[in-house]
């Protein structure tokens, strides 16, 4: 299937401001793009692209004072299959993990493992290591946190989400990642496009989604504690230790967000029909 993805950020800047945007589809999906993805701005300014230490595309620019818009748009070819389920995937002991996996066991800005380690072991020590344990973590988080856009908070940590029992997709993901790391399962944060392809209406307003990847049996696997069901049409934009590593817009100065749009729509090939799924 073909999926058309895009976003638009409208900002108001009090002074010229350096900005780094993580809006381009992840390099791992480069072969699925109909053409190289571009990020463009209004007013037009030079945009320099580079790969960050986590392997994500970043777009760097100097925005002038006043109203400023950043846009991205791309068509992605997708296999149209739901997230894979490999329930026999095993959890390896820490001593058997490759060196590069140890980074994904350590606490980070929003994944405060030091505050939740005892809680994680009390909750999940009797689950079978591997896929079953990760799914038990996702089930718990999915049922424990109430999704509420109106109570979103950019500074909420995993432990705060656990005790407050409220949040948005990033909070579900941070808590699940933290529990996985506490149980010695490498886990990393992902952000990207996830429309409502294959899901019944009504559809919520478009937004970027957060989910996690967990390392089991020598591979990274997708888990989504917010939705907690396999989904179709997931398009990765960026990975990191948590949301602090992958801000969609990072401005080195004050800004006011005045407008925001995200879409992820299935294109029916050979016709003009589009299934709205943002």
Q: Are residues 140 and 25 in the same domain?
A: no
pTM over 0.85: yes
Residues 102 and 218 reside in one and the same domain: yes
Beta bridge partners of 21: 59, 249
- pLDDT above 90: percentage of residues in the chain: 88
Task: Note whether residue 276 is domain-resident.
Answer: no
Spatial separation of the C-alpha atoms in residues 87 and 250, rounded to whole Å = 38
Does pLDDT of 96 surpass 50? Answer: yes
**Structure letter (DSSP) for residue 247:** -
Rounded to whole angstroms, what are the CA distances from 259 to 11, 74, 256?
7, 20, 9
**Do 28 and 143 fall within a single domain?**
no
- Tens-digit pLDDT profile for residues 150-184: 899 999 999 999 999 999 999 999 999 999 999 99
pLDDT per residue as tens digits for the range 129-153: 999 999 999 999 999 999 998 899 9
- Do 67 and 153 sit in the same domain of this protein? no
Task: Return the CATH number at 26.
Answer: 2.60.40.2250
pLDDT at 274 over 50: no
Q: Which residues lie across from 10 on neighbouring strands?
A: 69, 259
Residue 9, domain extent:
2-79+247-270
Give the pLDDT confidence score for residue 270 in this predicted structure.
Answer: 61
For the stretch 8-33, pLDDT in tens is: 999 999 999 999 999 999 999 999 99
Is position 266 within any domain? yes
Place of tokens 């989400």: 161
Predicted pLDDT at 269: 67
Q: What is the pLDDT of residues 190-245, one digit of tens each?
A: 999 999 888 887 777 778 999 999 999 999 999 999 999 999 999 999 999 999 99
Please give the structure tokens belonging to residue 141: 């988080």
Residue 277 pLDDT exceeds 50: no
Q: Is the residue at 260 inside a domain? A: yes
Is residue 87 included in any domain, yes or no? no
Neighbouring residues of 271: CB distance < 8 A, sequence distance ≥ 6: none
Does pLDDT of 273 surpass 60? no
Whole-number Å distance between alpha carbons of 207 and 194: 8
Which helix (H) or strand (E) segment holds residue 203: the answer is none
Does residue 136 form part of some domain? yes
Note whether 148 and 166 are within 8 A (CB): yes
Considering the domain architecture, whether residues 124 and 65 belong to the same structural domain is answered as no
Predicted pLDDT at 276:
37
Give domain status of residue 151, yes or no.
yes
Number of domains forming the structure of the chain: 2
Instruction: Give the bridge partners for 9, in sequence order.
Output: 70, 260
221 and 101 in a common domain? yes
Q: Is 69 exposed, middle or buried, given 0-12, 13-18 or 19+ CB atoms closer than 10 A?
A: middle
Same domain, 206 and 260: no
For residues 14 and 253, give the distance between their C-alpha atoms in angstroms, rounded to a whole number.
Answer: 9
């Amino acid at each position: 299937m073909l999926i058309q993805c895009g976003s638009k950020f409208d900002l108001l800047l009090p002074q010229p401001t350096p900005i780094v945007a993580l809006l381009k589809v992840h390099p791992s999906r480069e072969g699925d793009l109909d053409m190289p993805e571009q990020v463009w701005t209004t007013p037009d300014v030079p945009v320099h692209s580079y790969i960050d230490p986590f392997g994500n595309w970043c777009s760097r620019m100097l925005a002038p004072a006043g109203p400023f818009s950043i846009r991205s748009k791309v068509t992605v070819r997708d296999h149209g299959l739901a997230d894979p389920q490999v329930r026999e995937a095993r959890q390896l002991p820490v001593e058997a993990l490759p060196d590069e996996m140890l980074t994904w066991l350590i606490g980070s800005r929003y994944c405060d493992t030091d505050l939740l380690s005892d809680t994680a072991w009390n909750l999940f020590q009797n689950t079978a290591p591997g896929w079953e344990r990760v799914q038990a973590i996702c089930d718990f988080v999915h049922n424990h946190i109430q999704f509420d856009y109106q109570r979103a908070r950019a500074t909420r940590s995993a432990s705060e989400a656990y005790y407050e029992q409220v949040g948005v997709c990033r909070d579900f993901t941070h808590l699940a990642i933290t529990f996985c790391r506490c149980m010695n399962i490498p886990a990393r944060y992902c952000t990207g496009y996830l429309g409502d392809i294959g899901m019944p209406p009504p559809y919520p307003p478009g937004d970027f989604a957060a989910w996690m990847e967990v390392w089991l049996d020598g591979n990274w696997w997708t888990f989504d504690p917010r939705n907690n069901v396999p989904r179709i049409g997931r398009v990765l934009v960026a990975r990191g230790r948590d949301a602090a590593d992958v801000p969609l817009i990072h401005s080195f100065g004050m800004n006011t967000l005045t407008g925001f749009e995200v879409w992820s729509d299935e294109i029916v090939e050979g016709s003009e029909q589009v299934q709205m799924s943002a």
